[in-house]
Every structure is written in structure tokens, then in C-alpha cells.
């Protein structure tokens, strides 16, 4: 056990919080609590995982593990009791969350509202499930808590009384947010109802959290607020600047809701900090960001969890506490790092089976990090549900199928059967995307092949299958699928749905096309395009779509992938032709411009490449690959200082970017910073040991005066051996 | 067990729709409407004062408004699965796409969940009866059931219903229990 660096830890989750919205509010003095927080602590981007689905992400935050390990694979799962589906439950989580580990070690631990937190777990403290705040009946009738919403059971009535009902959201609460609420025709426009629901649910969670902080002993408290995410899904379309297609009247009514949501959370944060006390270490995180600018989609993909297209790849992290740095920015954090970091704050060992790392850069001094193989093997009461309450939902579904086959129970209704089939299919799809995200292509392939075979009418499965083939170097199979997709026409939609779906599909494709990464990086890391983002639980206004034309539907992402294949085959002209065709269909695809830039670089058209990377940054200023591309451009232009700056920006945005560290090393070496360059090359090699050029650079740097000749010899030997191997492979 | 209860003088709720077959030569004693329990929990009211056969899955749907005494028949799951596989084959339907071993594990989890859901339900009393125990000592099993039900039953008639020749689907290694 290491030395504890925190007496108490308060973990606050703000779903979908994004610096892009927070920073202007901080500048205007409209989020004073968070402003003071970051002044006294560290802040940074928190990179998300794909697919960007909140239940999966929040459980990765709480376990330090990817979803294939923790077992929460989407929003819905089959319900073995009803035979239908239900929101994902805590009984489906296969591994210990932070609160279980801390319970096991005797800490007084509370958790509130966490995604997939129902039924409440029997931890050493109070557990309030995510179903706790939902009002299932009118205020004047009973609106009982669902069974299992609160642990311990004897606190049930106490917490039931802390809830706020949407009908308790009065004019006085609405008008500060929506001053023109009286202009809303509530028969046609459900915006105010939606607003009241979100506000009351978050107040309920906040009431429960503050009650615990005031009345119960505690060492760790985790509280999750869905407010920012839900307000954004409901009202981001009305956020300034006014989007095309949004009526001015509605824009004027709802335009301040999103900013006010952040200000409201800032006020709640102040209460939490006051009650937690100055001795508490506070960690505030979000699972992803939310597009709030010109990247806001105009429609929602017509597929499960389609609203996740609105999510951005970076959430937020802020931490403050006794042993943490003050007023510093940290780089390269991912949401997998939260659990290892909090365990280290408590002086507890990190599980070697956790996928995240300790955010050492946030600490004043390098913390002592201890490790154990896995917390899963540690004996002792951890406050998880007993094994008899945990069951693999897919196995449960198989048992139901067995009973139906035996005639013991009625077959599922058509609706139920469809819902179950959809839930199981989406869980499989999400699992495949988890494998893609973590570069386990063989595992992903097996699932995607089955999905594409079973649902040939869903291009998303074939698209990911093509990406998977590409990553595995099976270009011909990828090409065959893409050519099939380019002539694929889905079944015609019902007339009333057609316009929206057309727009939705376009948006889905848009998202899909954002995924692939620069070809150079892809080649180097043997990785492929990432899957599209998805998710959401709140109804979102859907903007009128453009009518579809008579021409075959353009599939720019298929052209994009074909361009990648041509690039990998060395046919730059064909690659460029495909990429430019994709650009004609949809010029707003940031990753498309990265590909174009890469192709121009290969053709030695440096200025064209620069333009393409700049274009990518215009679309997404937080694209690490675009900064990386510009770093390469600047190197070619011998503008080494600027190259180093771009490479630093790239690795700051995404720490696991081996070529970012490599090109940073090249720029620093040219600038004469031998030691820093050495560190950069070593970082690149730690991420990508096969990066031959890094060994060559290190051999050269260690040969210089002050270098380590032994290391120089070793790196030279590795370089020569790798080069021989590559030459041998090339000749055979 | 349904035959035992009927022979003992207990009123049983059955519609006779499912007739005897090779799997169950003495008939099924089933009441088709019980399958509606999840959608229509109040249908259990028709079983008041009677015995009704309920598959474990449907116990989740038992309403809280009725006092129920459940005789929970327990049999080694390997035998249950072997029996189910044979029944599914005869019915020409398709069951769970799982290996027998995985299906046994899944059924065990299912039973664990059922048991957990029945705990702490004040309206439910539970009596577990082991299938092999009934075969081994039908009199003792009948007495146990009588005590649990708080009813005077014809125990001798009940015990006579136990026909060991109907014990089939033994799994490899299962030894027929002897007196």
C-alpha cells in the first residue's frame, strides 16, 4: 500500500461537459466556482473511448477498464424477468467499480446516480441508483421509488422525500433560464416539459448528494449529473449562433438554456465544494464533449443511439487537492485513467488488469504507485451484488428461448422480440467497436462478419467490416465490400420519414467519415478507422432535412476508404481521385482532409498538404492528427520551431500518438535539444516499438557528445536488424 | 407433483388442453392461462384455494396481493436439460443456441435469480422438494407437502402416484436412488 495522498475524494460527473462551452463562460465570469477550482488545481481534456456511449463510458471511468472487461455494452439489455428489454443494470457489470474496491478496504463510500447503477449496490455507505430521480407518476398521485433504488433499504423513505418532481418546477425556476417561457405553446412545443424533467432529476440527485455530505460520514463520494448532456441534446439546436432551419422565434426562446445549464452546474458545484470542505480532493470529469459550434449535426442518424453523433471526443477533467499541482494544464488524460488515479490518491494499488494509468503529471511530486495483478481476485466483501443477482443478459435470453421452445411460456410479442433482438445486436456491434478502438481487429472481425451477414441492409456493419479488413491488411476484401456499398440502396423509407432519414443518414455518414485517421499513422500503427459515435437518451429536435434526389446516394465514406486502400497500394493518383470525390459529396469531414493532406505529402505537394491540414483544423481545431500533419509540413519546410509546436499540440491532445512524439523528436533534434529529443523518441518507441526511424535517430543522438555510446550501439543494432528484416520481407 | 396433489384431495387448476404424450404419459396438469401472468397478474386469483403449475420464469410475475405457497420442485439441472432437449426434439421447436454445459450454467443463474426474487416477499411461503427425494421416499415427501399446505391430504394416495418407471433422462453417472 502506498502513502495516502488524500483524506477524502469527491468524484463529480458532469455528462457531456465540454471546455468549448465552459471557456467562454469562464472568461465572462459566469462560472466563478469552476474558475476558482481550476485556479487551484489542474485541468485538461479527457479523451473519450469509442463508441461514445455514456453507459459504457461512465463504467469505464468507474472501473479503469474498457467495456469488454466491465460488461456494460450499451443502453439496453435483455430483461430476463419480463422477456423484454430494460436499461443496463449494475448486475451486468462484471468487475469491481471504485466504490466496490473502497468498500472492500473499509472506506465509507457513497455513490449516486451512476449510469447502470440500478439496482443500488450494497456498498459500505449509501448507494442511490440511476433510476432514483425519475418521476413515474403525477405529483398528486403516488410516485414511489422503484425497488432497489436506494441502499440501504432503511434509507429508502428518507431519500424518496429528497426527490423533486417535474411538476414542482415552477415559473420562478423556469424564468431565469427561459425568460420568454410564456410564449411557448405547450400543446405543440414540449420544450418546457423536457426542461422541467431534466432540471428536477438533477435537483433530486443534488439533494441526495448534499444530504449525504451533511449527514453521513464519508471517505469517497461519487455523484453523476446527466443535466448538461440532456440539456444539450434537448436545446443545443437553439444555442447561438442560430442554426440554419431553426425558427427565429424558437431560437429566441431557448437560446440561453445550454449556457444556463452550465451556470446551474457551477452553482451546484459550489454547494458540493462547501459541504465537502477544503481538505477534500475533488475530481470533476465528463465522459465526452458536445458539439456546440459549426460541427453541430443538422439531423440525427436514424439508428439506435443515433443522437451520439452530437458528442465530441474530448470531455473535461479538473482535479484539486493537497498533493496536486495548482493552476496547471495536464495533457493526454483518458477516462480510463480516473480509477487508477483515485486509487493512488487513497494509497491503494492499481490493478494491472486496468487499462488506464495514473495521471502522474497532476501530482506535485511523483506519487508512489503500487500495483496488484487484479482487484477481482482480492477476497473480502466489496458491496457488489451477490452472484445470484448477476447474470449475463444474453444467457438469460437463451434460457427464455428455451422455455418458449418447451411451451412453458408464451413467445415474446413481436415488439418484445424486436426490442430484444435490437438490444443484443447493438451490444454485439458496440463490443466490436470496443475491439476496433483498442486495435483488437481479429476479435472485431468475427463479430462484424456475423452482423454484416445477418443484417445486410445495414451499411454501418459493412462499413466497419471494411475498416476492419483494411486494418488487417486484407485490402481486397475491404475493396469488395466498399464497391458493393457504393451501389447499395437501402429500402425506401415511408414518405413521412423520408426527409428526416435522408438527413439522418447523411449525418451518420458524416460521423463515420470523421473516424479514419491519417494514413501514415494508420500504416505505422497498423490501425484502422475508428467507429462512429452514438448514443443519447433524450429526445432531440430534428431539423428539416433536404429532400433526397433521384441520383444514387453518394457514400463519401466509402470513397474515403477506397482512397485509403489506393494510398496503401501506393497509387497516389487513384487515392487522390477517390478522396476528392468524397470531398465533393461532403466537404465537412475533418479526417477526409487529413487523408488528402497525407496524400499530398506523399506526392511532395507540401503547400497543398498544408492547405488540407489547415482545412481539417478549421473544421475541428482539436484534431491531433491535423496538428501532426502540420508538424510534418513544417519539417519539410525546415520550419523546425513551428514543427515542434504543432507536434506538441498533437501529443497534448492525444498522448498515445507515437508519430506525434516521433516528429516532435525530429524537430527538437534539429533545433539542437538533444535530451528532449531523446525523450520524445523514447516515448514514440514505448508506444510503437517497431518505429525503425526512431531507433536510427536515437543511435545518432547518443553518438553525439554527452550521449550514451552503449545505447547508441544498441539502437543502431536494432535499426540495422529491422532494416534487414524489412529488406528480406520486401524481396520475398 | 400435480398428480400427487390431485390424488391427495387438493383442488388443482388445469384446463386439460395439453394432452398426455410420450414425454408425460400421465398428462400435464397445466393451465394455459398462467402463461399470461406477466401481462395479467390478476389471473392468479382464479387459482385461489387450488394448486396450479407455474414455470419458474413466471414466478417473477406473481403479484404481491395474493398469499402463495410455492412447492418448488428441484432436480439436478443436467437431468432437467437432458429432459428439455428431448422434449424440444419431439416438439420440433428450437431451443437455446447454447451447449448443454453453458445452458446448465445459465439455468442455474436463472434459478439463483428466481430464488433471490422470492426472498423477502412476505406473501410467499416456499417449500423446496427434491425430485429424487420424492422418488426415494414418496410418503415422507407427501407428509412434508401436507404440513406445508396446512391441509389434510390423502398421503397414501399421493405416494402411490410416484411411478419410478417414469424417471427418465438420467444423465451419465446418475445412480437411480434406492431405498
Higher-pLDDT residue of A313 and A646 is: A646
Run of H or E including B139: helix B138-149
Rounded Cα gap, residues A67 and A48, in angstroms: 12
A655-732: CATH class: mainly alpha
Yes or no, beta carbons of B103 and A399 under 8 Å apart: yes
Minimal Cα–Cα distance from B18 to chain A, Å?
10
Do A336 and A62 contact (CB within 8 A), yes or no?
Answer: no
Cell of A517: 485517421
Pairing of strands A76-78, A85-87: antiparallel
The answer to whether the CB atoms of A405 and B93 lie below 8 A apart is yes
Contact state of A406 with B88 under an 8 Å Cβ cutoff? yes
Domain ranges of chain A: 8-382+389-393, 655-732
Query: Is residue A222 helix, strand or coil?
Result: strand
pLDDT in tens, B85-112: 888 888 887 777 778 888 888 888 888 8
> What is the pLDDT, as a whole number, of residue A553?
66
| CB < 8 Å to B61, chain A | 81
- Pick the residue from chain A with its C-alpha nearest to B97: A398
Structural domain contains residue B84: no
Order of all β-strands in the sheet with A328-334: A150-151, A127-128, A109-112, A220-225, A8-14, A280-285, A314-320, A42-47, A328-334
Is B140 a member of any domain?
A: yes
Question: Across residues A599-622, what is the average pLDDT?
Answer: 92
Mutate which of B40, B106, B122 to disrupt the A interface (most A C-beta within 10 Å)? B106
Q: How many CB atoms are closer than 10 A to CB A414? A: 8
Give the pLDDT score at A395.
75
In A, which residues are within 8 Å of B94 by CB distance? 405
pLDDT (tens digit per residue) in A665-716: 999 999 999 999 999 999 999 888 899 999 999 999 999 888 899 999 999 9
- The answer to whether the Cβ–Cβ distance between B55 and A403 falls below 8 Å is yes
H-helix segments, A105-162: 156-160
In chain A, which residue's Cα lies nearest the Cα of B30? A408
Note the pLDDT of residue A490: 60
Residues 87-116 of B with CB under 8 A from A: 87-88, 91, 93-98, 102-103, 105-107, 109-110, 112-113, 115-116
Instruction: Give the B window 111-170 contacts with A, CB below 8 Å.
Output: 112-113, 115-117
Q: Residue A455 and residue A490: Cα distance in Å, rounded?
A: 12
Instruction: Give, as one character, the DSSP assignment of residue A135.
Output: -
- A residues 364-393 lying closer than 8 A (beta carbon) to B: 386-392
Q: What is the pLDDT of residues A437-460, one digit of tens each?
A: 999 999 999 999 999 999 988 889
Distances (CA, A) of A419 to A83, A86, A264, A424, A432: 10, 10, 36, 9, 20
User: Is A409 in Cβ contact with B55 (below 8 Å)?
Assistant: yes
User: Does B171 fall in a domain?
Assistant: no
Which strand (E) or helix (H) includes residue A320?
strand A314-320
Average pLDDT rounded to a whole number, residues A184-206? 94
The answer to whether the CB atoms of B109 and A410 lie below 8 A apart is: no
Which residue of A389, A391, A398 is in closest CB contact with B96?
A398
B109, B117, B121, best to mutate vs chain A, most A CBs in 10 Å? B109
Least CB–CB distance from A399: residue in B87, B94, B96: B96
Q: Do residue A403 and residue B97 have CB atoms under 8 angstroms apart?
A: no
- Interface with chain A: mutation pick from B57, B58, B84, B104, highest number of A CBs within 10 Å: B57
Whole-number pLDDT of residue A491 = 58
Nearest CB to B106 within list A81, A395, A408: A395
Q: Closest Cα of chain B to A396: distance in Å?
A: 7
Output the pLDDT for position A322: 95
Cβ of B95 within 8 Å of Cβ of A405? The answer is yes
Interface of A with B in 79-108 (CB under 8 A): 80-83
Name the residue facing B94 among A386, A388, A405 (closest C-beta). A405
- The strand pairing partners of A155, in sequence order, are none
What residues contact residue B27 under an 8 Å CB cut-off, 6+ apart? B16, B18, B19, B20
**A396 and B93 in contact by Cβ < 8 A?**
no
Residues of B with CB below 8 A from A412's CB?
Answer: none
| Chain A residues whose beta carbon lies within 8 Å of the beta carbon of residue B38 | 82-83
**Number of C-beta neighbours around residue B11 at 10 A:** 12
B17 touches chain A (CB under 8 A): no
State which residue of chain B sits closest to A84, comparing Cα positions.
Answer: B38
Least confident of A142-146, A365-369, A648-652, B74-78: A142-146
Please indicate whether residue A228 or residue B102 has the higher confidence score (pLDDT). A228
Instruction: Measure CB to CB from residue A405 to each of B18, B88, B110 and give the nearest one.
Output: B88
CB A214 within 8 A of CB A559: no
CA atoms of A6 and A3, how far apart (whole Å): 9
- Beta strand segments in A34-176, E: 42-47, 76-78, 85-87, 109-112, 127-128, 150-151
Q: What percent of chain A has pLDDT over 90?
A: 68
Name A329's bridge partners: A43
Q: Do A392 and B115 touch (CB under 8 A)?
A: no
- Asked if residue A59 has pLDDT above 60, the reply is yes
Q: Is residue B114 included in any domain, yes or no? A: no
Task: Give exposure, A524-550, as e/b (b: 16+ Cβ within 10 Å).
Answer: bbebbbbbbbbbbbbebbbbebeebee
State which residue of chain B sits closest to A385, comparing Cα positions. B116
Does residue B157 belong to any structural domain of this protein? yes
What pLDDT sits at residue A392?
A: 73
pLDDT single digits (tens) A358-393: 999 999 999 999 999 999 999 999 999 887 676 676
B87/A406 Cβ within 8 A = yes
**Closest Cα partner for A668 from A692, A690, A700?**
A700
Q: Which of A80, A388, A420 best tests the B interface by mutation, with the highest count of B CBs <10 A? A: A388
Cβ-defined contact of A399 to B87 (cutoff 8 Å) = no
Mutate to test the interface with B, among A148, A152, A405, A420 (most CBs of B within 10 A): A405
Q: Give the gap in angstroms from C-alpha B82 to the nearest C-alpha of chain A.
A: 12
End-to-end CA, chain A: 53
- Cα–Cα distances in angstroms (integers) from residue A298 to residues A101, A231, A320, in the given order: 43, 17, 38
Range of the structural domain that residue B144 is part of: 2-76+123-166
Please tell me the predicted confidence (pLDDT) of residue A81. Answer: 78
Cα of A78 to nearest chain B Cα, Å: 13
| Of A241-250, A282-291, A417-426, A552-561, the least confident | A552-561
Residue with cell 465537412: A588
Q: Please check the confidence at residue A646 and state whether its pLDDT lies above 70.
A: yes
At A567, the pLDDT band (50, 70, 90 cuts) reads very high
- Chain A residues in contact with B117 by the CB 8 A cut-off are 81
**Of residues B31 and A338, more confidently modeled:** A338
Cβ distance B95 to A81 less than 8 Å, yes or no, reads no
DSSP helix/strand/coil, B16 = coil
Please tell me which of the candidates B38, B91, B103 has its beta carbon nearest to residue A398: B103
- Distance from B22 to chain A by nearest Cα, in Å? 14
Give the pLDDT confidence score for residue B121 in this predicted structure.
80
- A81, A402, A410: residue with CB nearest B95: A402
The residue-averaged pLDDT of A135-160 equals 87
pLDDT of residue A573: 96
Q: Pick from A433, A559, A548, A590: which is nearest to A485 by CA?
A: A559
Closest CA to A128 of A196, A192, A208, A24: A208
How high is the pLDDT of residue A628?
A: 97
Least confident of A62-71, A73-82, A239-248, A281-290: A73-82
CA distance A290 to A285: 14
pLDDT of residue A137: 76
In terms of CATH architecture, what is A8-382+389-393?
Answer: 3-Layer(aba) Sandwich (3.40)
Check pLDDT > 70 for residue A531: no
Give residue B23's pLDDT band: very low, low, confident or very high (50, 70, 90).
low
Pick from A387, A389, A399: CB nearest B106 = A399
Establish, for the pair of chains A and B, how many residue pairs have beta carbons separated by less than 8 Å: 84
- Between CA A510 and CA A346 the distance in angstroms is 43
Say if the Cβ atoms of A388 and B115 lie within 8 Å: yes
- Pairing state between β A109-112 and A220-225: parallel
Contacts of B95 in chain A (CB under 8 A): 401-402, 405-406
Best of A399, A410, A413, A454 to mutate (most B CBs within 10 Å, chain B):
A399
Q: If pLDDT is split at 50, 70 and 90, which confidence band does B83 have? A: confident
Q: What is the pLDDT of residue A709?
A: 92
Q: What's the number of domains chain B is made of? A: 1
Contacts of B108 in chain A (CB under 8 A): none
Q: Which three cell numbers stand for residue A70?
A: 466491465
Cβ-based neighbours of B35, under 8 Å, separated by 6 or more: A408, A409, A410, B58
Q: Estimate the share of chain B in helix, then strand, then coil, as percent rounded to the nearest 5.
A: 50, 10, 45
Closest-CA residue to A228 (of A184, A193, A268): A268
Cβ atoms within 10 A of the Cβ of A621, count? 15
- In this structure, of A220-229, A600-609, A619-628, B94-103, the range with the lowest mean pLDDT score is B94-103
- The pLDDT of residue A492 is 53
Amino acid at each position: 500500500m502506498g502513502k495516502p495522498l488524500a483524506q477524502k475524494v469527491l468524484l463529480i460527473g458532469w455528462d457531456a461537459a465540454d471546455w468549448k462551452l465552459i471557456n467562454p463562460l469562464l472568461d465572462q465570469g459566469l462560472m466563478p466556482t469552476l474558475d476558482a477550482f481550476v485556479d487551484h488545481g489542474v485541468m485538461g481534456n479527457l479523451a473519450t473511448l469509442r463508441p461514445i456511449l455514456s453507459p459504457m463510458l461512465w463504467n469505464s471511468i468507474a472501473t479503469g477498464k474498457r467495456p469488454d472487461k466491465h460488461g456494460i455494452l450499451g443502453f439496453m439489455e435483455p430483461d430476463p424477468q419480463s422477456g423484454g428489454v430494460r436499461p443496463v443494470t449494475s448486475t451486468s457489470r462484471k468487475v469491481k467499480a471504485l466504490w466496490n474496491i473502497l468498500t472492500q478496504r473499509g472506506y465509507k463510500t457513497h455513490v449516486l446516480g451512476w449510469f447502470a447503477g440500478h439496482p443500488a449496490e450494497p456498498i459500505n455507505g449509501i448507494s442511490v441508483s440511476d433510476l432514483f430521480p425519475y418521476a413515474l407518476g403525477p405529483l398528486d398521485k403516488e410516485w414511489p421509488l422503484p425497488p432497489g433504488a436506494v441502499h440501504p433499504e432503511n434509507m429508502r423513505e428518507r431519500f424518496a422525500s429528497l426527490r423533486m418532481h417535474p411538476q414542482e418546477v415552477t415559473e420562478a425556476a423556469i424564468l431565469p433560464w427561459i425568460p420568454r417561457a410564456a410564449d411557448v405553446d405547450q400543446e405543440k412545443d414540449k420544450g418546457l416539459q423536457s426542461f422541467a424533467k431534466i432540471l428536477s432529476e438533477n435537483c433530486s440527485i443534488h439533494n441526495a448528494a448534499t444530504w449525504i455530505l451533511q449527514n453521513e460520514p464519508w471517505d469517497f463520494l461519487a455523484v453523476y449529473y446527466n443535466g448538461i448532456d440532456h440539456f444539450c441534446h434537448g436545446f443545443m439546436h437553439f444555442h447561438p449562433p442560430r442554426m440554419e432551419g431553426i425558427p427565429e422565434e424558437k431560437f429566441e426562446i431557448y437560446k440561453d438554456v445550454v449556457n444556463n445549464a452550465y451556470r446551474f452546474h457551477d452553482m451546484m458545484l459550489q454547494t458540493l465544494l462547501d459541504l465537502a470542505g477544503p481538505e477534500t480532493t475533488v475530481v470533476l470529469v465528463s465522459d465526452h464533449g458536445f458539439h456546440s459550434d459549426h460541427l453541430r449535426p443538422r439531423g440525427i442518424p436514424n439508428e439506435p443511439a443515433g443522437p451520439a453523433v452530437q458528442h465530441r471526443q474530448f470531455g473535461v477533467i479538473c482535479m484539486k487537492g493537497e498533493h496536486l499541482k495548482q493552476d496547471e494544464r495536464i495533457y493526454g488524460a483518458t477516462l480510463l485513467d480516473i480509477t487508477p488515479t483515485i486509487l493512488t490518491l487513497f494509497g491503494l494499488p492499481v490493478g494491472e488488469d486496468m487499462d488506464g494509468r495514473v495521471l502522474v503529471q497532476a501530482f506535485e511530486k511523483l506519487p508512489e504507485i503500487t500495483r496488484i495483478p487484479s482487484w477481482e481476485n482480492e477476497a473480502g466483501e466489496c458491496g457488489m451484488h451477490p452472484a445470484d443477482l448477476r447474470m449475463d443478459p444474453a444467457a438469460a435470453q437463451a434460457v427464455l428461448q428455451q422455455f418458449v421452445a418447451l411451451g412453458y411460456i408464451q413467445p415474446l410479442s413481436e415488439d418484445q422480440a424486436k426490442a430484444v433482438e435490437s438490444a443484443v445486436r447493438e451490444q454485439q456491434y458496440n463490443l466490436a467497436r470496443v475491439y476496433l478502438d483498442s486495435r483488437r481487429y481479429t476479435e472485431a472481425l468475427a463479430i462484424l462478419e456475423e452482423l454484416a451477414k445477418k443484417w445486410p441492409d445495414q451499411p454501418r456493419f459493412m462499413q466497419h467490416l471494411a475498416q476492419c479488413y483494411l486494418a488487417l491488411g486484407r485490402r481486397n476484401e475491404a475493396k469488395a465490400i466498399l464497391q458493393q456499398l457504393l451501389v447499395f440502396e437501402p429500402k425506401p423509407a415511408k414518405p413521412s420519414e423520408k426527409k428526416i432519414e435522408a438527413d439522418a443518414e447523411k449525418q451518420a455518414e458524416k460521423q463515420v467519415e470523421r473516424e479514419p485517421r491519417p494514413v501514415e499513422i494508420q500504416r505505422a500503427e497498423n490501425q484502422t478507422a475508428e467507429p462512429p459515435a452514438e448514443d443519447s437518451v433524450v429526445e432531440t429536435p430534428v431539423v428539416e432535412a433536404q429532400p433526397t434526389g433521384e441520383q444514387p446516394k453518394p457514400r463519401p465514406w466509402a470513397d474515403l476508404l477506397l482512397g485509403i486502400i489506393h494510398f496503401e497500394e501506393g497509387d497516389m493518383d487513384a487515392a487522390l481521385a477517390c478522396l476528392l470525390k468524397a470531398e465533393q459529396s461532403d466537404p465537412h469531414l475533418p479526417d477526409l482532409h487529413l487523408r488528402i493532406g497525407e496524400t499530398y505529402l506523399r506526392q511532395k505537394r507540401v503547400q497543398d498538404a498544408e492547405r488540407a491540414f489547415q482545412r481539417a483544423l478549421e473544421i475541428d481545431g482539436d484534431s491531433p492528427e491535423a496538428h501532426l500533419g502540420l508538424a510534418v509540413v513544417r519539417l519539410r519546410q525546415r520550419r523546425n520551431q513551428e514543427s515542434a509546436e504543432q507536434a506538441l499540440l498533437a501529443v497534448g491532445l492525444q498522448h498515445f500518438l507515437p508519430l506525434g512524439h516521433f516528429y516532435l523528436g525530429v524537430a527538437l533534434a534539429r533545433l539542437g535539444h538533444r535530451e528532449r529529443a531523446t525523450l520524445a523518441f523514447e516515448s514514440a518507441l514505448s508506444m510503437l516499438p517497431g518505429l525503425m526511424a526512431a531507433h536510427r535517430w536515437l543511435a545518432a543522438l547518443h553518438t553525439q557528445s554527452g550521449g550514451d555510446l552503449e545505447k547508441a550501439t544498441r539502437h543502431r543494432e536494432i535499426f540495422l536488424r529491422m532494416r534487414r528484416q524489412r529488406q528480406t520481407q520486401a524481396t520475398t | 407433483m400435480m398428480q400427487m396433489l390431485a390424488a391427495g384431495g387438493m383442488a388443482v387448476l388445469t384446463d386439460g388442453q395439453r394432452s398426455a404424450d410420450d414425454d408425460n404419459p400421465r398428462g400435464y396438469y397445466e393451465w394455459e392461462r398462467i402463461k399470461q401472468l406477466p401481462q395479467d397478474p390478476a389471473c392468479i386469483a382464479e387459482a385461489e384455494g387450488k394448486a396450479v403449475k407455474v414455470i419458474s420464469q413466471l414466478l417473477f410475475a406473481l403479484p404481491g396481493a395474493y398469499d402463495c405457497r410455492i412447492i418448488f420442485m428441484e432436480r439436478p439441472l443436467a437431468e432437467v436439460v437432458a429432459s428439455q432437449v428431448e422434449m424440444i426434439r419431439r416438439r420440433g421447436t428450437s431451443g437455446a443456441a447454447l451447449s448443454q454445459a453453458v445452458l446448465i450454467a445459465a439455468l442455474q443463474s436463472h434459478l439463483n435469480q428466481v430464488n433471490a426474487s422470492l426472498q423477502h416477499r412476505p406473501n410467499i411461503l416456499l417449500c423446496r422438494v427434491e425430485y429424487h427425494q420424492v422418488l426415494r421416499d414418496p410418503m415422507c415427501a407427501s407428509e412434508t407437502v401436507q404440513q406445508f399446505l396446512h391441509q389434510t391430504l390423502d398421503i397414501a394416495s399421493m405416494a402411490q402416484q410416484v411411478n419410478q418407471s417414469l424417471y427418465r433422462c438420467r444423465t451419465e453417472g446418475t445412480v437411480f436412488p434406492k431405498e
